[in-house]
Amino acid sequence: MTVPEEGRPKTGTTDQVIKETEDSEDQPGPRTGATLREAFEEADVRPEDFEEGSSGE
């Protein structure tokens, strides 16, 4: 997702940006350790939902 330029916080130095990024690493983010299989199971997607031999065109 992109943020409009006018909605971005302004920084004075690069050091400020780096420090803020390092601080945010401790916070849990979105689920990142899920495998594709786990994501499909969570979304209730089954192999039958896909067509065999489909080239995606």
Which structural domain range is residue 49 located in?
5-53
- Select from 23, 25, 43 the least CA-distant residue to 35: 43
When divided into structural domains, the chain yields a total of 1
* DSSP-based three-state secondary structure for 42: helix
Q: pLDDT tens digits, residue range 12-38?
A: 776 666 665 555 555 555 666 678 888
Q: pLDDT tens digits, residue range 36-50?
A: 888 888 899 988 888
Please give the Cα distance from 48 to 57 (Å, whole number): 19
Q: What is the pTM of this model?
A: 0.32
Looking at residue 38, its pLDDT comes to: 87
Looking at residue 44, its pLDDT comes to: 92
